[in-house]
């Protein structure tokens, strides 16, 4: 900002801060402070863009209550479960929460998680230089490819016409 001492906080940030669940500790988000109303108004257009990703992160980190864990209609009455895993419907506030699912706040998320824009991938595409890997990294890439090929071969042997998963 302008360098003057802060005298007020963004009211939207304060409201969001109060809705954070216990243990929510994300360094990307925090209350913004301003020296005066004029400074706040001057920065509002840019600053308000931080509120939606913060609200989405809070929504994702907030655990659902038992009442919200409802079996989807398509599974009601199904009794032939083979394990303990069960499907359940969850409400989504917006597309961000729906895409990310309900991840705890301590789970690392990719750079596109808050807004859907893969910034690192876009920057990488603009980089026209050829990467030069160290021999150890090349060996790791080759090993990953070999393992991937083995998995595809095993899956190919297991597939039969008319089979289901």
- pTM of the predicted structure, to 2 decimals: 0.42
Q: Choose among 111, 98, 97: nearest CA to 28.
A: 111
Give the pLDDT band (50/70/90) at residue 69.
Answer: low
The whole-number pLDDT of residue 139 equals 96
Which are the contacts of 41, defined by CB distance < 8 A and separation ≥ 6?
none
**Residue spans of alpha helices (H) in the chain:** 11-19, 37-47, 51-61, 95-100, 119-126, 135-158
Range 67-95 average pLDDT: 64
Higher pLDDT, 124 or 1: 124
> Tell me: the pLDDT tens digits for 2-59?
778 888 999 999 999 988 888 888 788 889 888 888 888 998 999 898 898 888 888 7
Q: Output the pLDDT for position 114.
A: 72
Q: What Cα–Cα distance (Å) separates residue 147 from each residue in 136, 143, 144, 157? A: 17, 6, 5, 15
Give mean pLDDT, residues 68-83: 70
CA 108 to the chain's CA centroid:
8
Determine the Cα–Cα distance for residues 104 and 59; give it in Å rounded to an integer: 10
Residue with tokens 């109060």: 18
Encode pLDDT of 99-115 as tens digits: 455 566 677 778 877 77
């Amino acid at each position: 900002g302008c360098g003057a001492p802060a005298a007020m906080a963004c009211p939207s940030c304060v409201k969001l801060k109060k809705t954070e669940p216990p243990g929510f500790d994300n360094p990307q988000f925090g209350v913004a402070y301003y020296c005066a109303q004029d400074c706040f108004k001057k920065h509002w257009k840019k600053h308000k863009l931080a509120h939606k990703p913060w609200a989405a992160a809070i929504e994702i980190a907030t655990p659902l209550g038992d009442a919200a864990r409802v079996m989807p209609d398509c599974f009601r009455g199904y009794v032939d479960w083979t394990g303990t895993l069960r499907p359940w419907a969850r409400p989504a506030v917006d597309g961000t929460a729906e895409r990310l699912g309900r991840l705890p706040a301590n789970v690392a998320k990719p750079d596109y998680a808050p807004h859907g824009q893969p910034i690192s991938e876009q920057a990488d595409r603009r980089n026209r230089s050829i990467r030069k890997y160290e021999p150890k990294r090349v060996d790791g890439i080759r090993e990953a490819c070999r393992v991937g090929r083995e998995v595809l071969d095993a899956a190919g042997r297991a597939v039969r016409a008319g089979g289901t998963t």
